[in-house]
Amino acid sequence: MANTHEIQFGEAAARASRAAEDLPDLQGEKMVLNMGPSHPSTHGVLRIILELDGETITKATPDVGYLHRGDEKIAENMTWNQFVPYTDRLDYLAPMANNVAYALAVEKLFGIQDKLPPRCQYIRTICCELSRISSHLLGIGCFAMDVGALTVFLLTFTEREKVYNLQEALTGARLTTSYTRIGGVARDLPPGWVEQCRKFLSEVVININEVATLLDRNRIWVDRTRDVGVIPKDVAIDYGLTGPNLRGSGVDFDLRKKQPYLIYKDLDFDVPLGSVGDCYDRYLVRMEEMRQSVNLVRQCLDKLPGGADNKSKEPVSIQDGKITLPPKGKVLSSMEELIHQFMIVTTGVNAPVGEVYFGHENPKGELGFYINSRGGGTPYRLKIRAPSFVNLSVLPYLLPGHLMSDTVSILGSLDFVMGECDR
């Protein structure tokens, strides 16, 4: 039989006075709040351990790794081309940009980056810039939704859907594109794709401007973002921030301009910079980058070698049997092509010995691959320098001193993806 205890309750007034005696101790106490790993504003599985004094954050400890899949370990056990699908799953909001970044890194190791056919380079540039538009649309949409502007989310997601349709027409998949191969791209543009893309570009600018009218001078939006999460220039560089987060702080660093790859040096575009480095600046930078990307895609479509339907049969891959797969018809009829196909599929493209680092301006920042090769068809070590991982490392500096509710604005403005952060 359970014991029963009689509890004596004092008068309500007596209890209140007793509570007041305890209160001074309570006021000095800090509360530890566990935010995430499943919180709507953490966009995935980021966990932040916040130490709060009332509403004010006094300490923030991010905890990452919930989505760790061991991509780098997996890469050591597969051929160069086999790893392309895994790059889709890094920043899964811009899979085509990851594909291109990885392919360029491996091609740098092979020393064939300059030998890519012009049409391939144009197509890859279009892919990167479409990814940038798609990623920023999501970034701004979710950012706005997290601080209460739901309409923006609906607008940007409608546009993103069209990018997915373009990706589907181009690669056969909406999300997991796996479009690049070492030495080229998987296939040429399908018929009608260029017109579909132009139509999208003319529609997306209208919606970008619509978003701007909804947010730019919106009192609530400005109050929630201006002077919140200010990252000074030197701190941004010290923490290794890249992409819009760095440029929002006013650092003129864009790999497309500083270390041009593909055809960026032939294209005309501006790099928007912020002045304060707060959440509002990062929002403005992303908005302008989308407009610049629309222009870039237009320029690429205009100059595309071979034109929309590629009547002149411009190649989209390097024509070298030791690097790219030969045409299937020849594999079945010619000995040399059969051997090339067999070698590429079974042992992988044979890499030289050496180590390279290639940084690519992804929508979220600098996506870099450090490749250490000892020859053969697999990397000896493939390190992925993920922009989201590095961008999140600024949180212990950035969050303290802000209100609890500012966390949502700051996380939204940093625009990270955990798939890439945790790898």
Name which of 214 and 237 has its Cβ closer to another protein.
Answer: 237
Minimum distance from residue 45 beta carbon to another protein (Å):
12
Minimum distance from residue 167 beta carbon to another protein (Å):
25
336: Cβ–Cβ under 8 A, 6 or more apart, which residues?
321
Minimum distance from residue 43 beta carbon to another protein (Å):
18
Name which of 157 and 370 has its Cβ closer to another protein.
Answer: 370
Name which of 109 and 262 has its Cβ closer to another protein.
Answer: 109
Name which of 74 and 205 has its Cβ closer to another protein.
Answer: 74
Minimum distance from residue 78 beta carbon to another protein (Å):
4
248 within 8 A of 288, measured Cβ to Cβ: no
- What is the distance, to the nearest Å, from the Cα of residue 379 to the centroid of all Cα atoms in its chain? 23
Name which of 148 and 352 has its Cβ closer to another protein.
Answer: 352
Minimum distance from residue 414 beta carbon to another protein (Å):
14
**How many other CB atoms sit within 10 Å of the CB of residue 54?**
11
Q: Whole-angstrom Cα distance, residue 164 to residue 285?
A: 23
Q: Would you tell me which residues interact with another protein (CB under 8 A)?
A: 64-65, 68, 70, 72-74, 77-79, 82, 108-109, 111, 237-240, 251, 253, 258-259, 347-348, 354-357, 359, 366, 368, 370, 372, 377-378, 380-381, 383, 385, 389-390, 393, 397, 422-423
Order of strands across the sheet that contains 381-385:
351-362, 365-376, 381-385
Name which of 108 and 162 has its Cβ closer to another protein.
Answer: 108
Name which of 102 and 253 has its Cβ closer to another protein.
Answer: 253
Minimum distance from residue 259 beta carbon to another protein (Å):
8
Minimum distance from residue 358 beta carbon to another protein (Å):
9
Minimum distance from residue 284 beta carbon to another protein (Å):
21
Minimum distance from residue 82 beta carbon to another protein (Å):
6
